[in-house]
């Protein structure tokens, strides 16, 4: 599933290519995503100009002229690509091009999603704070209020694993399975440790490293294992920099001990039994 670095990378590219473009036509070919595409989306968005693109957690917030914005979540296998004359669509099955927006310059913004777990939702600017998907989200990993002291407060008394705490969107917005494993490796904290037993110093390290890992991944346009592509149709490059995720049995980059895998919260987690305590 695309996590914060993939969505933020996508946002930055689309800001350069799509902001200022006007939607002259729109088409919903398949409305049955994780939730039904907003009824009359095509009619409502036609004639609107994209004025900006923001992000909250793993959601893209496409700001439109008028009084609405479009919220997009890529789900498990979704992509949002800006297809211009030189776009290579070989990696995309046209059967899964579910929603399409044609811009005033002839280019197209296409939502493709083989598994149909994504979300496209038109919402009023005035109602953003009440959007159910955004309610209860924790701070962004780059926010000043996401720090060691914050993690110390929210982790006290928790018996669940520290990795689950990092992946709890109500604790910190946007961190998923891949990056939680990488963060905890660099922080030298075993993912299965009870969150309530992680020390204040370790939590301070985790908070700092969270921002570092995510920024590094954004700089590499995120991570692609299977289906993720950015708006230019290109895969993320961060997979080559992963130190533990999906490396079970391979030697640790720090000590050469074989990396182990364990299931935590129904998700595969990877760690070094020597480096992480």
Angle between helices 200-219 and 177-187 (to 10 degrees): 130
pTM assigned to the model: 0.90
Q: Which helix (H) or strand (E) holds 153?
A: helix 148-155
Burial of 100 (0-12, 13-18, 19+ CB in 10 A): middle
User: Residue 2 catalytic?
Assistant: yes
76 pLDDT above the threshold of 90 = no
Distances from the Cα of 249 to the Cα of 134, 199, 274, angstroms:
38, 29, 13
Q: Which helix (H) or strand (E) holds 51?
A: strand 50-56
Domains by residue range for the chain, with CATH = 4-130 (3.20.190.10), 148-271 (1.10.8.50)
User: Residue 63 catalytic?
Assistant: no
Rounded-to-integer distance, Cα 234 and Cα 218, Å: 14
Residue, of 241 and 232, whose pLDDT is higher: 241
Inter-residue contact 105 to 17 (CB < 8 Å): no
User: Residue 51 catalytic?
Assistant: no
Q: Which of 3, 8, 140, 202 is catalytic?
A: 3
Mean pLDDT value across residues 203-231? 87
225 pLDDT above the threshold of 70 = no
Say what percent of the chain tops pLDDT 70: 99
The side-by-side arrangement of strands in the sheet containing 119-124 is: 50-56, 59-64, 68-73, 119-124
Per-residue pLDDT tens for 148-190? 999 999 999 999 999 999 999 999 999 999 999 999 999 999 9
200 pLDDT above the threshold of 90 = yes
244 pLDDT above the threshold of 70 = yes
State how far Cα 192 lies from the chain centre: 23
User: Residue 58 catalytic?
Assistant: yes
Residue 164, phi-psi category: left (phi > 0), alpha (psi -120 to 50), beta (remainder): alpha
Rounded-to-integer distance, Cα 277 and Cα 271, Å: 10
Rounded-to-integer distance, Cα 107 and Cα 126, Å: 30
DSSP conformational letter for 236: P
Q: Which of 58, 121, 186, 190 is catalytic?
A: 58
Terminal CA-to-CA distance of the chain, rounded, Å? Answer: 28
């Amino acid at each position: 599933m695309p996590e914060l670095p993939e969505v933020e990378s996508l946002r930055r590219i689309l800001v350069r290519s799509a902001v200022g473009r006007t939607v002259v036509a729109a088409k919903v070919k398949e409305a049955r995503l994780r939730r039904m595409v907003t009824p009359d989306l095509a009619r409502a968005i036609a004639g609107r100009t994209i004025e900006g693109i923001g992000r909250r957690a793993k959601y893209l917030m496409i700001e439109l002229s008028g009084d609405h914005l479009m919220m997009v979540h890529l789900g498990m296998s979704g992509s949002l690509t800006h297809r211009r004359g030189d776009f290579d669509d070989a990696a995309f099955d046209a059967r899964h091009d579910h929603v399409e927006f044609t811009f005033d310059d002839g280019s197209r913004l296409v939502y493709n999603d083989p598994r149909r777990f994504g979300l496209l939702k038109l919402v009023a600017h005035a109602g953003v704070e009440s959007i159910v998907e955004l309610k209860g989200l924790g701070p962004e990993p780059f926010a000043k209020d996401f720090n060691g002291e914050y993690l110390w407060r929210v982790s006290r008394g928790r018996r669940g694993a520290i990795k689950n705490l990092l992946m709890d969107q109500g604790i910190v917005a946007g961190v998923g399975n891949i990056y939680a494993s990488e963060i905890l490796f660099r922080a030298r904290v075993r993912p299965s440790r009870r969150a309530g037993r992680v020390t204040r110093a370790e939590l301070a390290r985790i908070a700092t490293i969270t921002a570092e890992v995510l920024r590094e991944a954004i700089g590499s346009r995120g991570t692609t294992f299977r289906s993720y592509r950015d708006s230019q149709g290109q895969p993320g490059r961060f997979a080559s920099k992963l130190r533990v995720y999906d490396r079970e049995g391979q030697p640790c980059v720090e000590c050469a001990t074989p990396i182990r895998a364990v299931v935590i919260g129904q998700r595969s987690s990877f760690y070094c039994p020597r480096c992480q305590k």
